[in-house]
Amino acid sequence: MKKDIYEKLAKAVFSLNLSLTEKISQEIVKNNLDCQKAIFQGLVLGIKKVSDYFARGKYFIPEVLVAAECFYKGFEILKTNLKNPLPSKGKIILAVVEGDIHDIGKNIVKLMAEMDGFQVIDLGRDCPKEKILETALKEKPEIIGLSALMTTTMLEMEKVIKLLKENNIKAKVVIGGAPTSQLFAQKIGADGYAPDAVSGVKLFNQLIND
Amino acid sequence: MIENIKVFPLVVANHAAYLTGQKERELYCDGEKLAKALLYCQKYYNYDAVIVFSDVYVEMEAMGGILSFPEDAPPVVKSYPRIIKVANPYTDGRIKEILKAATFLKKYLKNIPIFVSLKGPFSLACLLVEAERFFMMLVEKEKKARELINIAFENQLKYLKAILEINCIPFIGDPFASGSLIGYNLFENYALPPLKELIKEAKFCGLHICGETKNLLPLIIETKAKIISLETDIQFAKRYFPEDIYLMGSVPTDLLVNGDIFQVKEECEKEILAGGKNFILSTACDVPKYAKKENVKMMVDVGHIYKRL
């Protein structure tokens, strides 16, 4: 029965059914079932299938956004009954650089990284470089992900990287966003470039294991 | 006149501001200044057609949105329209400034086609409520999403007629209907029908779809736009395109900022060879504000050299 209910939860997320995700999560809490298992065998499994469909071009941004809504709703309910904190692969800071307010891409990366077991500190959009530095000094992340959608604001990434290096921040810096490229990443001294969210999370895993 | 367009980099307000040493805000808010800056760019680079475009929020603002204008950066949304209304292109917001700019350019560039940019209804619907909210509506609140697209269509139909009235060519940009954001099904169900209607009304127009569009090519052709501008690999796209469609693209914009003239030359030659007959050498999207002048010049030169061959 327990296994069944986790499977149902995974299916609810994958089929983008918010009210069903909510209902099953509440049932799990009410029956005092293992919430950690419900998160990993239910919500995470569902979202991994969504991520797989996204990578194969069967789901697109609208479906991923709704799946994320389902995931976070379920997580909010299940976390109230968690016995132990969830394990983490590592810490990532994500930010859309100063001057840029486009954050869909960053939000998708955040979702996929969290689903993959990373702890994400989201500094939001239009984020000043000083705030990125301050958070990096305090949180000591393994990776810092920077995003920009405009050719004007992507130039800000270079300034962020320079400031981080001047302050001996050891975290690897990954950049992404429509106008960026591998060529640009090399030019500004980033440790990696990700053309999309799926390859971004792959790169996080590689860099963490380096 | 269209047959003469061989090189058409999408130089818009921000690069024009940079090239003419003005603050971006001046061009976004004043049609005459925008026109003069675009005229300067055309004379400076000598490309074969001009597009009038300031920023993505022109229609959304005219329909009730409120923007703020930083001195030297694109406008920022302060609030989305509370009540969405169909704009009067001659009185509401800055659409009249765009039309003023186009009329001015038409007067001074008699032998050069003047295109005027307007959003595809799908993308305008996105901009009316914020993209993430709209994308979620497509899955969760289909009816509401359709209502938004319908009102966006109505607005664009009026705008399109105003563009035709001044004898300019509509150039529809549908950045949110990109293959990188939505798939074949959503494009077919939501973005394609209003695009087809709008293009039918225009009779002759350009269409630009941002991002990766390989999967969408058959649907994009179905729009019957005569000029289609893509970010996609031209060699791949060419296989799908009938001879009578002018295919436009797709020099990567970051190359104009970060590359050198030799890389630009190589890329342009590759595009021209792949594009074949009825190909217009262009940028994959807008020319970036800080694109190197020598790179844009090189692009135009390569296009013109091949034109003579």
| Interface test mutation site (partner A, options B258, B263, B296, max chain A beta carbons within 10 A) | B258
What are the Cα distances from residue B38, in Å, to A177, B104, B114?
28, 10, 11
| Interface test mutation site (partner A, options B71, B135, B181, B231, max chain A beta carbons within 10 A) | B135
List the single range of A81-85, A133-137, B23-27, B53-57 with lowest mean pLDDT.
Answer: A81-85
The predicted model gives B105-109 an average pLDDT of: 96
Q: From CA A98, how far away is CA A96, in angstroms rounded? A: 7
Measured between CB atoms, does B15 come within 8 Å of chain A?
no
The average confidence (pLDDT) of chain B is 94
Report residue B127's pLDDT band, with 50, 70 and 90 as the boundaries: very high
Parse chain A into domains and list their residue ranges: 2-81, 91-209
pLDDT in tens, B216-262: 999 999 999 999 999 888 989 988 888 889 999 899 988 998 899 99
Q: Which of A57, A104, A179 sits opposite B183 (nearest CB)?
A: A57
Measured between CB atoms, does A69 come within 8 Å of chain B?
yes
pLDDT in tens, A122-177: 999 889 999 999 999 999 999 999 998 777 788 889 999 999 999 999 999 999 98
Residue B157 is inside which H or E element, if any? Answer: helix B142-165
Angle made by CA atoms B145, B181, A120, in degrees to the nearest 5? 105
* Superfamily of segment(s) A2-81: Methionine synthase domain (1.10.1240.10)
Q: From CA B206, how far away is CA A28, in angstroms rounded? A: 54
Cα atoms in the Cβ-side hemisphere of radius 13 Å centred on A10: 18
CB contact under 8 A, A104 and B131: yes
Q: Is residue B209 classed as helix, strand or coil in its secondary structure? A: strand
CB contact under 8 A, A61 and B139: no
Measured between CB atoms, does B258 come within 8 Å of chain A?
yes
A16 to chain B: which residues are within 8 Å by CB? Answer: 139-140
CB contact under 8 A, A101 and B14: no
Residue A93 is inside which H or E element, if any? Answer: strand A91-96
Position A3 pLDDT exceeds 70 = no
Tell me, letter by letter, the H, E, C secondary structure of B16-75: HHHHHCCCHHHHHHCHHHHHHHHHHHHHHHCCCCEEECCCCCHHHHHCCCEEECCCCCCC
Q: What percent of chain A has pLDDT over 90?
A: 58
Position B309 pLDDT exceeds 60 = no
Torsion of CA A120, A125, A127, A133, to 10 degrees: 10
A104 to chain B: which residues are within 8 Å by CB? Answer: 131-132, 181
- Please name which of B118, B24, B101 lies closest in space to residue B63, comparing C-alpha atoms: B118
The predicted model gives B259-282 an average pLDDT of: 93
B289 touches B17 (CB < 8 A): yes
Parse chain B into domains and list their residue ranges: 2-308
Position B25 pLDDT exceeds 60 = yes
Can you name the CATH fold of A91-209?
Rossmann fold (3.40.50)
pLDDT given for residue A108 in this prediction: 84
CB contact under 8 A, A65 and B76: no
Measured between CB atoms, does A187 come within 8 Å of chain B?
yes
Residue B281 is inside which H or E element, if any? Answer: strand B279-283
pLDDT given for residue B307 in this prediction: 65
The predicted model gives B103-113 an average pLDDT of: 95
Q: How many angstroms separate the first and last alpha carbons of chain B?
A: 19
CATH of domain B2-308: 3.20.20.210
Look up the ipTM and state it: 0.85
The full length of chain A comes to 210
A179 to chain B: which residues are within 8 Å by CB? Answer: 253-254, 288
DSSP state of B215: G
Position A190 pLDDT exceeds 60 = yes
List, in order, residues 6 or more apart from A93 with CB less than 8 Å away: A120, A121, A123, A132, A135, A136, A139, A141, A143, A144, A145, A171
Measured between CB atoms, does A22 come within 8 Å of chain B?
no
Measured between CB atoms, does B138 come within 8 Å of chain A?
yes
CB contact under 8 A, A65 and B136: yes
